[in-house]
Chain A
Amino acid sequence: MSEKIFALFLRLYPARFRARYGEESLQLLRDRLRDETGLLARLRLAFDLLTDTALALPRAHRISAPSIGAAAASSHLTPSFRVLEEQPLRPGAIGIAGLLSAASFAAFVVLLSIAGTRHHWRPAQDRIAQNHPVSASAPPPAGNSLGGASTVPANASASAGAPAATGPAAPTGAASLVPLDPAERHRVVAAVATDLETYYFDRSLGQAAAQHVLFQENHGADDAATSGSAFAVLLTQQIRTATGDLHLIVDYSANPLPPQPVAPPSPRIPAAFRAALLADHCGIERAAVLRGNIGYLRLNAFPPPEVCAAPMRAAMASLNHTAAVIFDLRDNRGGDPTMVALVASYLFPRPQPWYNPREAQPSTLPAPFPAGHLANAPVYILTSVLTISGAEQFSYNLRMLHRATLIGETTAGSAHIGVFHRIDDHFGIGIPAFRPINPYATRDWEVVGVAPDVEVRAADALSTAQKLAATRLRASSLK
């Protein structure tokens, strides 16, 4: 080991030690270099110096750090200052400390931003996946069902969509997690383009969107998407950008999609589905009259009226003489637009124009129940982030008609009006077949959800509604 290298080693020692013993240490090394010649002796010398540095360095730092305890003991209870470090910090030390701090701060910022983007990215994917679980597992017949009542088993709903082909069991093929290759991407893009040109209600806009996705693919915009779900999200963004239509969606399912039904689905409800609906009490979890004559209906679905009209009418009749009604839709997963209209018809004195995004023509609520007393009762609707589809139609329309006060959280945001076109075992595209006529000046709830009038946590929504209703009833009785 040469003297220069050892001089570098010496820099590791505390300044105080170096000032006192640096020259002596170098002298000692020179003496040993002079006395110990030959390869073996030099190797031994190098080994000695390395082990010595490793062993003595901590000790040298320890003894050169002045003892705070000794300083305190010698102060004799009188206030005193003791300078622990005899020398000011070297500029080099300050520089290295500054660099280290800057580097660790930068690393922290980078890590934070990576974590941040992941955190923001995932809900977007989940939302797409969550919005269209029903359409992915069972192509809903056009204009028939708003979403699907998922309080009944999902496979029952699948059998409603394609009874002959799949039977009651939902397909549970092995999840395909194979990364996409460019050939498959191209096949999907080509099919998306063809479907847009063929099925989108605005022919020229559909063609423009088709050209846009092909253009994006040719320019390598799709190359980053290696997983099916990411690719579906990317294509969805592209076609929404091209058309401005948030009802368009490209969907990816890890499980193989059922074959497209050849014949239109039968209007008859299969027996298994009917039994499941009735076993679930048609989604009517509770109908009760709360304190202060406030009606409370906890409704978890809007099931098909063919099966559930009678139980629903019975539930509404049980609340007929209440002074105000709270519809608790916090766990409502949607269902049949006809049932949504049926329940809403109780709240109006005469047939009411009614927005249904699944109808090409403007629709109207059925005639009110003859002996109904709820037409003028205050209505409160409890919502949560889970409130979806048909329940959102109910909430959105009554809010637009100023017929109800919404309390809780912004809803999930799923209008589900596209017709599902299967592309292959894993990809499909939802395309609206007609332009929905929204009579209200705002856009509907697709993606954005329905915002409440009174924003509270879903857990607090019922108590808030009870307070508001009681206050309002007291005020009106004083008049």
Chain B
Amino acid sequence: MPKRKLDPLPAAAFQILLSLADENRHGYGIMRQVEEQSGGRMRLGPGTLYSSIQTLLDENLIEETSPPRNHDAPNAERRRYYRLTSAGRKLARAEAGRLADILRIARARKIFRGEYV
């Protein structure tokens, strides 16, 4: 039942999918990337991070992968790395499209004052 748990897609799960779009990362890497891409607004704590990761794993939206060869991080071989599956990429794209639709409506309703988003 893939739609049950992640419909609607929680913000944390969406951010995690986005953080893995360009690079495979371990948990702490995901957390840092999410913090960066959200402008510091979202700092995922371990509980939220790993329960979201568990859900995404269960739904086959991400999967575990081997550490990159050319790692320079300490203890990198002991960390679990995650990467986006094709289903995950599809879902992230659909979610982004949905948000874009909403954004388009918001623009049409002229709720943005002057500044162009």
Using a CB–CB distance below 8 Å, which chain A residues touch chain B?
Answer: 13, 17, 20-21, 24-25, 27-29, 31-32, 48-49, 51-53, 55-57, 59-60, 63-64, 70
Assess the A24–B79 pair: CB atoms within 8 A: yes
Interface membership of B21, Cβ < 8 A: no
Assess the B45–A27 pair: CB atoms within 8 A: no
Q: How large is the interface on B (under 10, 10 to 19, 20 to 34, 35 or more residues)?
A: 20 to 34
Q: Count chain A CB atoms within 10 A of each CB in B47, B53, B75 and give the residue with the most.
A: B47
Q: Count chain B CB atoms within 10 A of each CB in A17, A27, A49 and give the residue with the most.
A: A27
Given A17-B54, A21-B54, A63-B55 in contact, is the A28-B47 Cβ separation under 8 Å?
Answer: no
Instruction: State A21–B44 Cα separation when bound (angstroms).
Output: 14
Binding site secondary structure of chain A: helix
Assess the A31–B28 pair: CB atoms within 8 A: yes
- Shortest distance in angstroms between B13's beta carbon and chain A's nearest beta carbon? 11
Instruction: State A17–B46 Cα separation when bound (angstroms).
Output: 11
Chain B residues, CB < 8 A from A60: 47, 50-51
What 1/0 mask marks residues of chain B from 31 to 66 whose CB sits below 8 Å from any chain A CB? Answer: 100000000000111111111011100100000000
Besides the contacts A27-B27, A60-B51, what 13 more A-B pairs have beta carbons closer than 8 Å? A21-B54, A24-B27, A24-B79, A49-B45, A49-B46, A52-B47, A53-B47, A55-B45, A55-B47, A56-B46, A56-B51, A57-B47, A59-B47
Q: What are the nearest 5 A-B pairs in CB distance? A: A52-B45, A56-B47, A25-B46, A21-B50, A31-B28
Instruction: State A107–B4 Cα separation when bound (angstroms).
Output: 43
Instruction: State A56–B58 Cα separation when bound (angstroms).
Output: 17
Partner of A17 from the list B5, B27, B51 (CB cut-off 8 Å) is: B51
Interface membership of B80, Cβ < 8 A: yes
Using a CB–CB distance below 8 Å, which chain B residues touch chain A?
Answer: 1, 5, 26-28, 31, 43-51, 53-55, 58, 75, 78-80
- Shortest distance in angstroms between B48's beta carbon and chain A's nearest beta carbon? 4
Instruction: State A97–B79 Cα separation when bound (angstroms).
Output: 36
Instruction: State A60–B50 Cα separation when bound (angstroms).
Output: 9
Assess the B31–A28 pair: CB atoms within 8 A: yes
Instruction: State A409–B99 Cα separation when bound (angstroms).
Output: 82
Chain B residues, CB < 8 A from A17: 50-51, 54
Chain B residues, CB < 8 A from A21: 46, 50, 53-54
Partner of B48 from the list A24, A29, A55 (CB cut-off 8 Å) is: A55
Chain B residues, CB < 8 A from A63: 5, 51, 54-55, 58
